[in-house]
Amino acid sequence: MNRNPIAGSGAARRSSRTRRGISAALTGLVLVLVTACGGGDSDSGENDGKNGDAAPAAKKVSQAVVSISPKDGADGVATENALKITASKGTLVTVKVADSAGKPVEGELSGGDTVWKPKGTLRTQTKYTVNAIAKDAAGLQSAKTATFTTVVPANTFVGYFTPEDGQTVGVGMPVSINFNRPIQNREAVEKGIEVTADPPVDVQGHWFGNQRLDFRPEDYWAAGTKVTLSLRLDGVQAADGVYGKQAKDVSFTVGRRQVSTVDAATHKMTVERDGSVIKTIPITSGAPGNPTWNGRMVITEKLKVTRMNGATVGFTDNDGKGEYDIKDVPHAMRLTTSGTFMHGNYWAGAPTFGSANVSHGCVGLQDVRGAGNNAMPAAWMFNNSIIGDVVVVKNSKEKTVRPDNGLNGWNLSWSEWTAPQS
């Protein structure tokens, strides 16, 4: 009897079940792997396999727009009223302007922080870089950068000033600036100049013509005042094609208060220092045909010995020669540009001083030739005077000295000094 078919059939069924089990296990493993790699529920925000790849979220962009004038890369840009940075649909949060050396430009915001302009003028022939950032109502920022180069001037101007840096001067010394070129745009130049005092006092400028600008307070400086002149003229346009090339600070100190009063009628000079009379000196002033100027005058120059020739100040004879030519004039101190001095006189007799007026307009004090005797009145006055001291002449038969004849602006009232000028 053959029983193998039955045995064989059972083995075959067992083999078939085994293959189906392995197949089911493999299928389960594949499902597990698929679930682990790509599955997950739809609430996760990942692709669920039904709609393809998801689009990325749109990036938010600031609505603020920064505008810079002049345009990027501009050349020959004006130093004034050309640079302006604005923000529309937002406000400016950062503005940085600097030259090629990294020196920043100061500016100020206006219009609710939507407009930025420089406080002063830019320098000529200089490359500047602008970096500006604005933000919109949502706080989103936008930025812009530009570079430009300022104008190359056809001509430049500078101001020559007095007194000198570090000098100690008398209470009558104004700040006087003489420009080497005519100034047409006075307002712009004035904005580039500041004179400050410590202790503080109101200081105002006054123009004499178009090349001289003086500054002074209402009354003489207080003794001990420190005065600072700040020149910020680099880039200031004074006239068509004429730009400043000067940035400088100078300071001087006001010494003791000394005011000397010359009375041409009594032929005496009273020297007052810090409120007390310290000396009375006999003098001679201008003769009737050439009287001394009246008014307040400031000592601007001291010369221990000099030569005085009448031809240099308009006193000539019929041959065109000077009415006088005096060598070795001692202890001379200039009071006017036109040639008025206070000086030693060695050619007049001693009785002249205190009794007669015999000069060509100067104030004379007894002295010796060559300034060799410090006991003489002129020597004492010279040694006790400094640049900026005040000399007042009264009771002369002459008019009051012009305020621009020397540093003699004190002969203008404060209202005249500060009145608008055309």
DSSP output for 72-90: TTEEEE-SSS--EEEEESS
Tell me whether residue 37 is one of the annotated catalytic residues: no
Distance (Å, whole) CA 153 – CA 244: 9
Sheet with 237-239, edge to edge strand ranges: 155-157, 242-244, 237-239
CB atoms within 10 A of CB 49: 9
CA 302, 307, 308, 314 torsion-angle sign: negative
Question: The tokens of 191 are what?
Answer: 């904005």
Q: Residue 381: which H helix or E strand, with range?
A: helix 377-383
Instruction: Answer yes or no: are the C-beta atoms of 234 and 121 closer than 8 Å.
Output: yes
Beta bridge partners of 4: none
Cα 355 to its chain centre, rounded Å, is 52
Nearest to 343 by CA among 316, 294, 306, 312: 306
Distance (Å, whole) CA 4 – CA 15: 16
Most distant CA pair in the chain, distance: 183
Catalytic residue among 206, 267, 360, 362: 362
Instruction: Answer yes or no: are the C-beta atoms of 50 and 42 closer than 8 Å.
Output: no
State the amino acid at position 258 in one-letter form.
Q
State the amino acid at position 65 in one-letter form.
V
Q: Distance from first CA to last CA of the chain, Å, rounded?
A: 146
Tell me whether residue 343 is one of the annotated catalytic residues: yes
Q: In Å, how far are 42, 51, 72, 86 from 36, measured between CA atoms?
A: 15, 20, 56, 56
Instruction: Answer yes or no: are the C-beta atoms of 368 and 304 closer than 8 Å.
Output: no
Distance (Å, whole) CA 180 – CA 53: 77
State the amino acid at position 407 in one-letter form.
L
Catalytic residue among 206, 267, 343, 360: 343
Residue that has been written with the tokens 């005797």 in this structure = 373
Instruction: Answer yes or no: are the C-beta atoms of 236 and 188 closer than 8 Å.
Output: yes
Provide the 3-class DSSP secondary structure of residue 101: coil
Give catalytic residues, as residue numbers. 343, 362
